[in-house]
Amino acid sequence: MFNSYIWSLPSRLFHWLFVGLILLAFLTDDGKLLNYHALIGYGVLILLVFRFFWGYIGPKYSRFKDFPLAFRDAKEFALNIFSSKQKYIGHNPIASYVMIGIFIVVFLTILTGILTLGVEEGKGLLSSLNSTFFKKMELFKDIHEFFSNLLLALIAVHLLGIFSDRVLHPAHKTLSSIFNGIKVTSEDYSIKLNIAQKLFALIFLALFVVFFIFNISIKNNPLVASKHMSVDYKKLNPLFVKECASCHIIYPPHTLPATSWVTMMGGLENHFGDDASLSEKDNRDILDFLVRNSAETSTQKVSVKVLDSIKNKDIIAITQSDFWKKKHKDIPKKVFAHKDVKSKANCKACHSDIEKGLIENDKIKDINAFM
C-alpha cells in the first residue's frame, strides 16, 4: 500500500475557504448583516472562479476531466459500492456529480443574490435594476432562497457520502485526505504541482486576500453601495420640517402612498388625537410636497412594500400597514415602551438614518439595548 499525495495544497485550501465562507454566508442570513452577507458571496465567487480554472489547469484528480461523470461509471460504482476495491483515486462518480452540482448551485445562488441585492435593496453591482420595472421585487429573492436550500441538500448528500465512505472503505483514508492530501492506494499515484500551477494558485490567494482588505477598508464600495442618497429635508423643504417634525420625527414622504397623505392632510385637526392644523396655504404646499415624493415615486424597499401592503386601504400610519407589522412582529412590547423608544412610531430610536430618508440594514439598532 502507498500513501499517495493527491490533493495539492491549493485544492485543500480552496476546499476549506469554500466551507468556511459558505458557513458564514448561512450565518449572516439576517437583514442587519446584509452587507457582510453580500461580501461573503463575492468572496465565494472569487473562490469559484479559481476552482473553475483549476479544473482545467490544475493537477490530476482536481481537473474536471478526471471526474468520472459517465452514467455507466455511476451505475457500476453504485452496484459495487460494497466492494473494497478502489477504482477511483480522486472523486468517485457519485461524489463527482455532487461536487459539480455544488459548484453550479453555489454559482446560481451568488448570481441571484447579486440580483436580489440590486433589485430589492438598490445596492451593489446591479443597483440600477432597482427600478419601477421590478416593483414586485420578490422573484429573485425566492429563487435565491430556493438555490440556497438546494445547496443545503447537496451538502447533506456530500456529508452522507463521506460518512458512508468512512464506514465502507475506511482503509482509503478519504476523510483525512482533505486535511493532509494523502490517500492510501495500491500504487503510488502522487501528484506534484508545476511552477505555473503554483503561481496561478498564489495569484488567486493574493487576490482573495486583497479583496477582503479592500472591502474592510472601503466600506461603501460599488460592490455593496446603495443607490439611494441621503436627503437633507431641512434644506429641501424647511416648512415641512418645521410643521411636521415638531411633535415627532421626520417621516420621509416616500414611506406612505399619496392617498394616505391626502387623507392625513385633510384631517389635521384630529391628527392621532392632536390638533396639527395648518393654514390653508401651508397645508396645500406640504401636501403637494408629500404627494410629489410619495411611496409611488420611490423604488426604496420600504416604499414598494408599504405601498403594496396599504394599496387602497384607508391607512394613514406606516405602523398600521401589514408590512410594518410583519417586520416588527418579533419585537417585544416592552421594547416599544422603553423610555428611549416610547412609541412604535418613533422609528428613529431604532433606525438612526430614517430622518435622512433611509432605512439601511446596517443602521438598525440592536433591540437588546432596549430590553
Exposed/middle/buried for 224, CB within 10 Å: 0-12, 13-18, 19+?
buried
CA torsion 165→171→175→176, rounded to 10°?
Answer: 180
Contact stretch for ligand HEC (CB under 6 A) within 52-60, 61-69, 76-84, 317-325: 317-325
What does the alpha-carbon distance between residue 76 and residue 92 come to, in Å, rounded to a whole number?
A: 11
- Max Cα–Cα distance, the chain, nearest Å: 94
Nearest Cα neighbor of 256 from 307, 298, 292, 305 is 307
Spell out the residues 6+ positions from residue 124 whose beta carbon is closer than 8 angstroms to its own. 38, 114, 117, 118, 222, 223, 224, 225
Contact stretch for ligand HEC (CB under 6 A) within 48-56, 148-156, 225-233, 248-256: 248-256
| 144 interacts with ligand HEC by CB under 6 A | no
307 CB neighbour count, 10 Å cutoff = 23
Assess contact for 201 and 20: CB atoms under 8 A. no
| 227 interacts with ligand HEC by CB under 6 A | no
| 274 interacts with ligand HEC by CB under 6 A | yes
Q: Which one among 12, 141, 271, 363 touches ligand HEC, defined by CB under 6 A?
A: 271
Q: Compute the least distance from the CB of residue 320 to ligand HEC, in Å.
A: 7
| 39 interacts with ligand HEC by CB under 6 A | no
Q: Which one among 80, 221, 343, 362 touches ligand HEC, defined by CB under 6 A?
A: 343
Positive or negative, the CA dihedral 333, 338, 342, 345 is negative
| 350 interacts with ligand HEC by CB under 6 A | yes
Nearest Cα neighbor of 162 from 91, 106, 104, 103 is 91
| 293 interacts with ligand HEC by CB under 6 A | no
Q: Which one among 218, 247, 337, 369 touches ligand HEC, defined by CB under 6 A?
A: 247
Q: Which one among 97, 243, 298, 304 touches ligand HEC, defined by CB under 6 A?
A: 243
Q: Cell 463575492 appears where?
A: 42
| 346 interacts with ligand HEC by CB under 6 A | yes
The residue count for binding ligand HEC (CB under 6 A) is 38
Residues interacting with ligand HEC, by CB under 6 A?
31, 243-244, 246-248, 251, 255-256, 271-272, 274, 276, 286, 301-302, 317-319, 327-328, 331, 335-336, 341, 343-347, 349-351, 359, 361, 364, 367, 370
